[in-house]
Structure 1
Amino acid sequence: MNHPLYNLLSELEAARIHFSLARYRPDSVLVTLTLVGERVEVDVFEDGHLEVSRFLGNEDIIGGQELVSQIIARNAEPAA
């Protein structure tokens, strides 16, 4: 099959880059790459176009359990 999604997956497999697939929107598939120092999210749409987001970081340890608890509390959805 000749679709950009399959082409991307073949390229990643040939390069031996680990990826995961998810579907959060009805018109695209999210391909996530976690690399040293960065995370890349590639949305591949039905029409074949790609949208790429790149998150760079230095991977320093910045906290422990307290930080995890703060992040969860800040992002938790209110109880119904």
Structure 2
Amino acid sequence: MEHPDHPFTELFEQLGLASDPASIKRFIDRHAPIPDEVALPDAPCWNEGQAEFLREAIEEDADWAEVVDHLNASLRKN
């Protein structure tokens, strides 16, 4: 099955966050780095709904999984 390709900005919209490039950069700069021992959905920057969405995307290998992996990598960088 082919998965739709969701842009990074669309993930931020799905999470209810500002999705313009400057806002995305500010969010990542503010919340990175997430420690390696903390799963992305367990990071303190998410509300309950956002964390659940991220958890489901990862666990179910949903069509959002690839862009969620990109978010995870972005938030792990120093």
TM over 0.5: no
Higher relative contact order (CA 8 A, sep 6+): 2
- Give TM-score scaled by structure 2 length: 0.24
Largest Rg, 1 or 2: 1
Higher strand share: 1
